[in-house]
Amino acid sequence: MSDKLDYFHTTNMDIYRELYENSLILFRTTNLKGEIINCNKAYSDTLGYTKNEIIGQSIFSHTAKESLDEMNDMFNTWKSGVAVSNREIWLKKKNDDEILGLFSANNLYDDGVLVGSNTAIQDITEITMLKKEFKTLKRKRQEIMGELSGRIAHDLKNPLSVIKNSIQIMQMKDDLLVQKHLSLFKAIDRSIFRMDHQINQVLDFVNPKPLNRNVCSIKKIIECIINDVINPENVAIELPKNDAMISCDKEKLEIVFENLLLNAIQAMGGNGTLDISLEEIQSYIKIQIKDSGPGIPNELIPKIFDPLFTTRQIGTGLGLPSCKTIIEQHGGNISFETKIGHGTIFEISLPRHSL
């Protein structure tokens, strides 16, 4: 029986040794001093040393300067008896080139006493470079699409203004034909508004203008949007009872509240309640817009502020990203809470600044 156990133990050790030596993953074994007492061929070949040159060296001698603090933290972590998993650290080759490694270190014990660690390192340099290239290409593509969208939106703006002005002039005429088709003119007005709204979203997103600050009333900005732009028939709107003055770009904040209020009304299907509140907290003003809609599904929550994301057939998907950009331009932040069946609350925090 003992012979079988010895054979089984020896066979397992041989398998382990073969996996260690021939693995494409970089392996190294260190003692409590941080000295390398063993490594595999992948480790020595990747760093450009012979195995004899590596044995006895400190782990810090193979660590790039920018990762020395990280390596020291990892070293102290596994020395305290805690395993290390998936830490990114830059290694330095013999020729001073650098590679990015994904480190995991398991502790080694001898009769229950910690004696060192066995570290597995995956070279992720190429993967990281490919990710950077992909991000660069994606950013360039977005820049090109943004420029193209901006040009198209700008070109549409002028003829749309001509149509809008022409319809307004026709509606002002005391003409039986005009009165007969008044409902048609109103439908055209609504279509013009929707087109103008979407074009403005594109222009504001691809080419945000600097802030033009003035001292304004938050409550009046919201009231203007509700009365002049939205004017919903079947939505009960609870306006804030108090007011707050703020140094802001009035036109940009109008864009923010227009988007948030329209989104809320559309989420409720044009029928429900909107509760808008204001609160002054030291140097900040907090605005909450609460709707009685169905709430936002969990799978959509991470995408809400992503450019071009929309759940509607009609829309640019730039409304909420534009809101976020404008609020951040003002030094504030925007967030939301939602619950299925209980509606959504968007919260905006804006610094008052000195008035």
Q: Residue 292 pLDDT > 90, yes or no?
A: yes
Give 193-213 pLDDT, tens digit per residue.
777 767 776 776 666 778 889
Which of 67-71, 95-99, 229-233, 348-352 shows the lowest per-residue confidence on average (mean pLDDT)?
229-233
Give 133-165 pLDDT, tens digit per residue.
777 776 776 666 666 666 777 777 777 777 777
Q: Which of residues 18 and 297 earns the better pLDDT score?
A: 297
344 and 327 in contact (C-beta within 8 Å)? no
Q: Are residues 218 and 245 in the same domain?
A: yes
Q: Are residues 171 and 266 in the same domain?
A: no
pLDDT for 149 equals 66
Helix spans in the chain (H): 2-22, 41-47, 51-54, 68-79, 125-172, 176-180, 182-206, 218-224, 250-267, 319-329
> Percent of the chain, pLDDT > 70?
81
Q: Residue 106 pLDDT > 80, yes or no?
A: yes
Whole-angstrom distance between the N-terminal and C-terminal Cα of the chain?
Answer: 89
Q: Are residues 226 and 304 in the same domain?
A: yes
Backbone angles phi, psi at 144, to 5 degrees: -65, -45
25 and 121 in contact (C-beta within 8 Å)? yes
Tokens standing for residue 110: 């001898």
- pTM value? 0.50
Residue 104's closest CA among 85, 122, 118?
Answer: 85
Confidence of residue 178 (pLDDT cuts 50, 70, 90): low
pLDDT for 6 equals 47
> Percent of the chain, pLDDT > 90?
36
Confidence of residue 8 (pLDDT cuts 50, 70, 90): very low
The domain tally of the chain equals 3
Confidence of residue 302 (pLDDT cuts 50, 70, 90): confident
pLDDT for 98 equals 92
Q: Are residues 255 and 274 in the same domain?
A: yes
Q: Are residues 39 and 111 in the same domain?
A: yes
For 36-42, what is the mean pLDDT?
93
Q: Are residues 198 and 262 in the same domain?
A: no
Confidence of residue 121 (pLDDT cuts 50, 70, 90): very high
pLDDT for 21 equals 85
Q: Which of 123, 146, 166 is the last residue of a domain?
A: 123
Q: Are residues 262 and 317 in the same domain?
A: yes
Q: Residue 2 pLDDT > 50, yes or no?
A: no
Q: Which of 184, 206, 228 is the last residue of a domain?
A: 206
For 5-10, what is the mean pLDDT?
42
Residue 151: domain span: 129-206
Q: Are residues 234 and 275 in the same domain?
A: yes
Which of 73-77, 221-225, 314-318 shows the lowest per-residue confidence on average (mean pLDDT)?
314-318
pLDDT for 355 equals 46
Mean pLDDT of the chain: 82
Confidence of residue 230 (pLDDT cuts 50, 70, 90): low
pLDDT for 306 equals 78
Per DSSP bridges, beta strands 235-238 and 113-123 are: unpaired
Q: Are residues 306 and 337 in the same domain?
A: yes
Q: Are residues 109 and 139 in the same domain?
A: no
Domain harbouring 165, CATH code: 1.10.287
Q: Are residues 66 and 159 in the same domain?
A: no
Q: Which of residues 234 and 116 earns the better pLDDT score?
A: 116
Q: Which of residues 57 and 131 earns the better pLDDT score?
A: 57
Domain harbouring 43, CATH code: 3.30.450.20
What 3-state class would DSSP assign to 148? helix
Tokens standing for residue 40: 């595999």
| DSSP-assigned letters across all residues of 283-349 | TEEEEEEEE-S----GGGGGGTTSTT--SSSS--S-HHHHHHHHHHHTT-EEEEEEETTTEEEEEEE
Residue 250's closest CA among 275, 279, 225, 281?
Answer: 225
Tokens standing for residue 188: 């055209």
Give 322-352 pLDDT, tens digit per residue.
889 899 999 999 999 999 998 999 999 999 7
Taking phi first (over 0 means left), then psi (-120 to 50 degrees means alpha), and beta for anything else, what does residue 213 get? beta
Backbone angles phi, psi at 244, to 5 degrees: -150, 135
pLDDT for 129 equals 81
Any residues with CB less than 8 A from the CB of 181 and at least 6 apart, and which? none
Confidence of residue 16 (pLDDT cuts 50, 70, 90): confident
Domain harbouring 257, CATH code: 3.30.565.10
Q: Which of 206, 223, 255 is the last residue of a domain?
A: 206
Q: Are residues 288 and 340 in the same domain?
A: yes
